Amino acid sequence: MYVQGVVSAPPEARQTHLEVRLAAEQLVQGAESRAVQGQLLVQTSFDAQLRYGDRVRLWGQLRTPSDDEDFSYRDYLARSGVYSLMAFPAVERLEGGQGHPFWAALYGLRGRGADVLYQLYPAQEAALLAGILLGDESGLSTAMKEAFNTSGTRHIIAISGFNISIIAGIFLSGFSRWLGQRRGVALAALAIGAYTLLVGADAAVLRAALMGLLGLLALRTGRQAYALNSLAVAAGLMALLNPHVVWDVSFQLSAAATLGLILYAQPLNNWLQAVLQSRLSRARLQRVKGPLNDYVLLTLAAQVTTLPLLLYHFGRLSLYSLPANVLVLPFQPVLMILGGASLLLGLLWLPLGQVLAFFVWGLATYSIRLSEGFASLPYAAPAVPVGLGVVGLYYAGLLAYSQRQTLWTGLRQWQPRRELGLAALAAVTLWVWSAALAAPDGLLTLTLLDVPGEALLLRTPQGRHLLIHGGASPAALAAELRHELPPGQRLDWLVVAGGRREQSGALAAVLPRLLPSQLGLSASGSAARGLQALAEEHGLPVTELQPGDYWDLGDGGRLQVLARGPRGAVLYLSYKGFSALLPLGLDFDLLEELQTSGVPPAHLLLLADGGFAGLNPPQWLQAISPQLVWSTEAVEALAYPSYNTAAAGWLRLRTDGSQIWLDRGR
């Protein structure tokens, strides 16, 4: 199989490989060829000589990006429209120059700028300045990134409102003096737009650029720029253009930091002045207040609103963040302005840039060594993981404190009759809907959940729930069960019939929250033993399943252990005239045993091992003679109607024992 397409962005260097984004045009598999559209992320070696606009042909295997408990690479790439990945394919370059001339020129300028920086400065300092000026962090080593993260100074590398304000200020002051304010504002806006495109226009940069443009618009129309409104409009426009941006960590942190500066910078400044004015003379107060406000209070204001997000996403607390920022921030304006000037001079004539770079590289070295020094201190970043509930409580408390005067006035004037009536009505509505959702419908429902791996949820005609496996991602399993289970309802049974990670890897993390009435185990290995110990710790009854054991589902329904082997069990579901075969723990020996003894026919068959051909031979399928086949991965065309969760999302079957209704997530 090969994919043909055009490189849609400059390749980005990672620690061990290059990442290339490909606008796919054609997919060829065997004798079948079809036109396709969409973005493909390609991981290839550093010796691949690829550039923006190259048309290439790639031989390899397409796969879905990973999705685990700590980090969902799949969701991260989906925010930029990438849903498929190809790792280290064979690459054939067909032709170049297929990109848009504007983007080719812009990317060429950015690449040329990075090359000049590496000629002007030592490698580490050049990598830092490439991140600060061009948004290119590919040259930063893992150790250097970790040092900046641990010391709480990573933000100095990211393009932010600080960079945008400097660009706007230089162009506005320069061109307004020569060409008038109207033309100066227009040229400053063009400069912000060009710089945003040059550095990559990620979420944080775009937010800063939009706020800068709104400020220029206010200046042009003679209105006062209100920062809170500008932030709201910028965030709203970004979410409207790309709803995925709301889940982007850089966007969340950038917006939260800006919100902290808007809301708390001035109150903190007023507090500092009230504390110092009685102790210092007016002249000394002015000398002291400026640096303290710029390098201490502004840092505090930003950290007040970003702290819970940092703990939620990264699980670490930078204990030395405040002193590190106090020592590093005063030099950043000079570093950016002089570093940018050395880059511009170097682009014009390299020796000119080298003269200025001689005076700048010490500032870059200072920033790196300072961050590394704080990162090396004991307990620099202890683990402090927090959940989403804690984040919500923190922001609710912060909002209540910030609006305490308004809240107190509202409480004093509160008339409880209307609010109590609305609260009672909301409670009754919630109770009615919960009861309606939990009410049995007299149908047997089997759902193959849309999780990485394998998880099935069975709902009995009486409204009880049995979960078989849980997949590999606790977050994905929790999200699916939140949609499938009525509010406040827990599982009645949990069954583990296979020990593979993609079957039960998520269960240990979510078992204390599920707390089923009974746990049935027919798998072996350390994972199963750990799950059994965890269940016993929480007082859950554990049953070691053997062939012949079954669950009575009511109304004649039964889920039976048909056979058991070293990898787990084969389950058989029957309800009146309907049946399903679930070979969850099938291995080759168990397959041969069942083929010899005879396997009962079934209306629905779940393919074993995600659809692995060796465990789903044609003679096995012919003996079962299913009317419907499910799998968790895409499989080759079968002689039976087949669906898979990779393409269709969740799969649901509802039956009254004689008729079948099918549904799927997408």
Indicate if the pLDDT at residue 228 is higher than 90. Answer: no
- pLDDT over 70 percentage in the chain: 89
Do 268 and 205 fall within a single domain? yes
| Res 353: pLDDT | 92
Which residues make Cβ contacts (< 8 Å) with residue 232, sequence separation at least 6? none
Domain of residue 77: give its range. 2-99
| Res 219: pLDDT | 64
Indicate if the pLDDT at residue 323 is higher than 80. Answer: yes
User: What is the edge-to-edge ordering of all strands in the sheet holding 518-521?
Assistant: 542-544, 518-521, 493-496, 465-468, 456-459, 444-448, 651-655, 660-664
Place of tokens 């848009």: 100
Six-digit token pair at 24? 């796919």
**Is 360 part of any domain?**
yes
Q: Rounded to an integer, what distance in angstroms lies between the CA atom of residue 64 and that of residue 108? A: 31
22-38, pLDDT tens digit by residue? 999 999 887 788 898 88
Do 90 and 136 fall within a single domain? no
Six-digit token pair at 426? 């909301």
Average pLDDT in the chain: 83
SS3 state at 167: helix
| Res 575: pLDDT | 92
Average pLDDT over residues 358-372: 91
Indicate if the pLDDT at residue 7 is higher than 60. Answer: yes
Report the interhelical angle of 404-412 vs 388-402 (nearest 10°).
Answer: 70
Do 135 and 91 fall within a single domain? no
**Is 108 part of any domain?**
no
Which residues make Cβ contacts (< 8 Å) with residue 92, sequence separation at least 6? 56, 57, 58, 59
Nearest residue to 547 (alpha-carbon basis) of 525, 528, 568, 519:
568
Average pLDDT over residues 148-163: 81
How sure is the predictor about 269, in pLDDT bands with cuts at 50, 70 and 90? confident
Average pLDDT over residues 405-426: 63
Do 18 and 151 fall within a single domain? no
326-346, pLDDT tens digit by residue? 888 888 888 888 999 999 999
Which residues make Cβ contacts (< 8 Å) with residue 641, sequence separation at least 6? 627, 628, 629
Six-digit token pair at 181? 């304010």
Q: Rounded to an integer, what distance in angstroms lies between the CA atom of residue 559 and that of residue 578? A: 12
Indicate if the pLDDT at residue 57 is higher than 90. Answer: yes
Determine whether 518 is exposed, middle or buried from the number of CB atoms within 10 Å of its CB (0-12, 13-18, 19+).
middle
The answer to whether 458 touches 445, Cβ cutoff 8 Å, is: yes
Indicate if the pLDDT at residue 319 is higher than 80. Answer: yes
SS3 state at 356: helix
Of 172-181, 490-499, 610-619, 628-637, the poorest mean pLDDT is in 172-181
**Is 271 part of any domain?**
yes
| Res 119: pLDDT | 92
| Res 248: pLDDT | 80
What's 554's domain CATH number? 3.60.15.10
How sure is the predictor about 497, in pLDDT bands with cuts at 50, 70 and 90? confident
How sure is the predictor about 525, in pLDDT bands with cuts at 50, 70 and 90? low
Nearest residue to 626 (alpha-carbon basis) of 640, 646, 645, 644:
640
Contacts 24+ apart (CB under 8 A), 524-532: 524/499, 524/566, 524/568, 525/499, 527/499, 527/501, 528/496, 528/499, 528/504, 531/496, 531/504, 531/507
| Res 355: pLDDT | 92
The answer to whether 607 touches 629, Cβ cutoff 8 Å, is: yes
Average pLDDT over residues 555-575: 90
Which residues make Cβ contacts (< 8 Å) with residue 28, sequence separation at least 6? 1, 2, 3, 4
Of 59-68, 350-359, 372-381, the poorest mean pLDDT is in 59-68
Of 64, 99, 134, which marks where a domain is finished? 99
Average pLDDT over residues 82-111: 90
Indicate if the pLDDT at residue 606 is higher than 80. Answer: yes
Do 495 and 349 fall within a single domain? no
What residues does 524 pair with on adjacent strands? none
Q: Rounded to an integer, what distance in angstroms lies between the CA atom of residue 117 and that of residue 114? A: 5
Do 170 and 84 fall within a single domain? no
Determine whether 361 is exposed, middle or buried from the number of CB atoms within 10 Å of its CB (0-12, 13-18, 19+).
buried
Average pLDDT over residues 15-23: 86
Of 51, 66, 99, which marks where a domain is finished? 99
| Res 652: pLDDT | 92
Of 497-511, 533-547, 565-579, the poorest mean pLDDT is in 497-511
79: left (phi over 0), alpha (psi -120 to 50) or beta: alpha
Of 89-98, 224-233, 411-420, the poorest mean pLDDT is in 411-420
| Res 137: pLDDT | 84
What's 91's domain CATH number? 2.40.50
Q: Which residue has the higher pLDDT, 151 or 536?
A: 151
End-to-end distance of the chain based on CA atoms, in angstroms?
26
The answer to whether 489 touches 465, Cβ cutoff 8 Å, is: yes
Do 348 and 276 fall within a single domain? yes
| Res 582: pLDDT | 93
Do 94 and 128 fall within a single domain? no
**Is 643 part of any domain?**
yes
Q: Rounded to an integer, what distance in angstroms lies between the CA atom of residue 364 and that of residue 128? A: 7
Q: Rounded to an integer, what distance in angstroms lies between the CA atom of residue 179 and that of residue 190? A: 15
Pairing of strands 18-29, 2-7: antiparallel
Indicate if the pLDDT at residue 628 is higher than 70. Answer: yes
Six-digit token pair at 639? 């002689």
Q: Rounded to an integer, what distance in angstroms lies between the CA atom of residue 566 and that of residue 496? A: 13
**Is 104 part of any domain?**
no
Q: Rounded to an integer, what distance in angstroms lies between the CA atom of residue 629 and that of residue 583? A: 12
How sure is the predictor about 438, in pLDDT bands with cuts at 50, 70 and 90? low
Indicate if the pLDDT at residue 223 is higher than 70. Answer: no
Q: Rounded to an integer, what distance in angstroms lies between the CA atom of residue 257 and that of residue 406? A: 24
SS3 state at 572: strand
The answer to whether 123 touches 79, Cβ cutoff 8 Å, is: no
Whats the size of the chain, residue-wise?
666
**Is 605 part of any domain?**
yes
CA distances to 200, 279, 532, 540 from 507, rounded to whole Å, are 40, 61, 11, 14
Q: Which residue has the higher pLDDT, 167 or 495?
A: 495
Q: Which residue has the higher pLDDT, 523 or 592?
A: 592
**Is 111 part of any domain?**
no
Highest mean pLDDT among 358-367, 428-437, 513-522: 358-367
Q: Which residue has the higher pLDDT, 529 or 541?
A: 541
Do 370 and 506 fall within a single domain? no
Ordered DSSP codes for 586-643: --HHHHHHHHHH-----SEEEPGGGG-GGGS-HHHHHHH--SEEEESS-----SS-EE
Six-digit token pair at 361? 């590289």
Total structural domains in the chain? 3
Indicate if the pLDDT at residue 225 is higher than 80. Answer: no
Nearest residue to 21 (alpha-carbon basis) of 1, 47, 3:
3
Q: Which residue has the higher pLDDT, 661 or 289?
A: 661
Taking only Cα atoms into account, the Rg of the chain, rounded to an integer number of angstroms, comes to 30
Average pLDDT over residues 64-90: 76
Do 321 and 220 fall within a single domain? yes
Average pLDDT over residues 612-621: 87
551: left (phi over 0), alpha (psi -120 to 50) or beta: beta
Ordered DSSP codes for 462-513: TS-EEEE---S-HHHHHHHHHHHSPTT---SEEEE-B--HHHHTTHHHHHHH
Nearest residue to 86 (alpha-carbon basis) of 154, 151, 5, 157:
5
What angle is formed at CA 22 by the lines to CA 16 and CA 28, rounded to 5 degrees?
110
Q: Rounded to an integer, what distance in angstroms lies between the CA atom of residue 142 and that of residue 449? A: 37
CA distances to 27, 44, 83 from 58, rounded to whole Å, are 10, 10, 17
Do 497 and 584 fall within a single domain? yes
How sure is the predictor about 424, in pLDDT bands with cuts at 50, 70 and 90? low
| Res 48: pLDDT | 79
566-597 burial, b for 16+ CB within 10 Å, e for fewer? ebbbbbbbbbeebbbbbbbbbbeebbeebeee
**Is 409 part of any domain?**
no
The answer to whether 541 touches 497, Cβ cutoff 8 Å, is: no
Average pLDDT over residues 603-615: 88
Of 224-238, 450-464, 605-619, 638-652, the poorest mean pLDDT is in 224-238
Average pLDDT over residues 539-565: 88
Six-digit token pair at 93? 């370059």
What residues does 82 pair with on adjacent strands? 39
pTM score, whole prediction: 0.59
Q: Which residue has the higher pLDDT, 449 or 533?
A: 449
Do 349 and 485 fall within a single domain? no
Q: Rounded to an integer, what distance in angstroms lies between the CA atom of residue 476 and that of residue 460? A: 23
